[in-house]
Amino acid sequence: MKLKKLRTRNHRVVLNRSAGGDIGISFFLILMGLFMFLPMYYVIIQAFKPLDELFMFPPRFYVIDPTVENFKDLFSLLSDSWVPFSRYIFNTVFITFCGTFGNLLIASLAAYSLAKLHYPGRNFLFQVIVLSLMFHSTVNQVTHFIILSAFGWIDTLLSVIVPAMATTIGLYLMKQFMETSVPDTVLESARIDGASEFRTFWIIAMPMVKPAWLTLIIECFKNLWNTGASIYIHSEELKTFNYAIQQIVAGGIARSGAGAAATVVMMIVPITVFVFSQSQIIETMGSSGMKD
């Protein structure tokens, strides 16, 4: 048998990889990377452009004389509004924190129960959760309005926070991750030592699924952080930062610098959270699979 020369990379044999394929793949990745990255990059560049460069023809993909003027404008524009700027930020942070924390707490508890305890109705409950992943929650927004007004929650922050606590995607990922990464034997020995089910959950299971917390947090965080003009809230002092940005951008072309600055402020937070939790999130997603 004729032996063919094996390709190596870092002194390891590389199987089934042709050089042509490597080049093709790199080319495709770079192309797609540019498509994804350039608009993001353009926002950042716009945010640092002084006024005369914003109106330069043709528009440039670089900035000659970078300035933080747009960020300052953003603060002065918002401080002119009759609701203080800090109020919008507080609302966004408050909604995001309460909603995410609530979701983390009750979804983990439910995930533990669905993953690790056996009782009648368990599979049915999980099937319903999976079914809920199959339609978009905005389908329910009309009836949400009726329910929220029955509770008297219209025009309160509760109308955004409480429904967000019942987000199913985090629960789904948490449950799948618990199934594979929390061994039954460990739980068993905790119970033999006399720990209650709640204690077993809190002391044993929860610390073992930290990667799943982060995943649930980012799933919930990204929606709440980006809450815009909710149809359930009309008081100006309860509106979110994202809503304030929309108002600035709606101010037209003269505001495009401040608008870009605001967008940069908004996007930096979720991206930073993701970059630091990336490896744990990917670890959780490893068990995300759905069975037929």
With a CB cutoff of 8 Å and minimum separation 6, the contacts of 161 are 95, 98, 99, 102
Axis-axis angle for helices 122-132, 85-116 (nearest 10): 140
Q: Please check whether residue 153 is in contact with residue 231, taking contact to mean a CB–CB distance below 8 angstroms.
A: no
**How would you classify residue 136: left for phi > 0, otherwise alpha for psi between -120 and 50, otherwise beta?**
beta
The reply to whether 29 sits near other proteins by the rule CB under 8 A is yes
Region of 64-72, 76-84, 93-101, 255-263 interacting with other proteins (CB under 8 A): 255-263
Cα angle 218, 87, 157; round to 5: 60
Q: How far is the CB of 192 from other proteins (least distance, A)?
A: 7
**Binding-residue total with other proteins (CB under 8 A):** 110
- Binding part of the chain for other proteins, among 67-75, 76-84, 93-101, 273-281 by CB under 8 A, reads 273-281
Could you give the dihedral angle defined by the CA atoms of residues 76, 81, 87 and 91, in that order, rounded to the nearest 10 degrees?
-110
Binding segment (CB under 8 A) for other proteins, from list 63-71, 73-81, 82-90, 259-267:
259-267
Q: Which stretch binds other proteins (CB under 8 A): 73-81, 82-90, 93-101, 181-189?
A: 181-189
Which of residues 67, 81, 181, 226 is near other proteins by CB under 8 A?
226
Q: How far apart are CA 20 and CA 17, in angstroms?
A: 9
Interaction of residue 187 with other proteins, rule CB under 8 A? yes
Can you tell me the distance from the alpha carbon of 279 to that of 157, in angstroms, rounded to the nearest whole number? Answer: 33
Are 225 and 99 contacting, i.e. CB atoms less than 8 angstroms apart?
no
Q: Does 7 bind other proteins (CB under 8 A)?
A: no
- DSSP H stretches of helix in the chain: 19-47, 51-54, 69-80, 85-116, 122-132, 141-151, 158-165, 168-181, 184-192, 197-199, 206-208, 210-225, 241-250, 256-285
Q: Which of 62, 80, 142, 193 binds other proteins (CB under 8 A)?
A: 142
Among 23, 59, 66, 86, binds other proteins (CB under 8 A): 59
Using rule CB under 8 A, residue 123 touches other proteins:
no
Q: Which is nearer to other proteins, 67 or 132 (CB)?
A: 132
Min separation Cβ 199 and other proteins, Å: 11
Which stretch, 66-74, 83-91, 93-101, 269-277, contacts other proteins (CB under 8 A)? 269-277
Considering only residues 66 through 105, tell me which ones interact with other proteins, judged by CB under 8 A.
none
User: Is residue 97 within 8 Å of 227, Cβ to Cβ?
Assistant: no
Place of tokens 């094996």: 6
Q: Kindly state whether residue 183 participates in binding other proteins, applying the rule CB under 8 A.
A: no
- Member of 77, 182, 256, 258 binding other proteins (CB under 8 A): 256
Token pair recorded at residue 125 = 């409950």
Site string for other proteins, 31-50 (x = CB under 8 A): -xx-xxx-xx-xx--x----
8 touches other proteins (CB under 8 A): no
Between 36 and 64, name the residue whose CB sits nearer to other proteins: 36
15 binds other proteins (CB under 8 A): yes
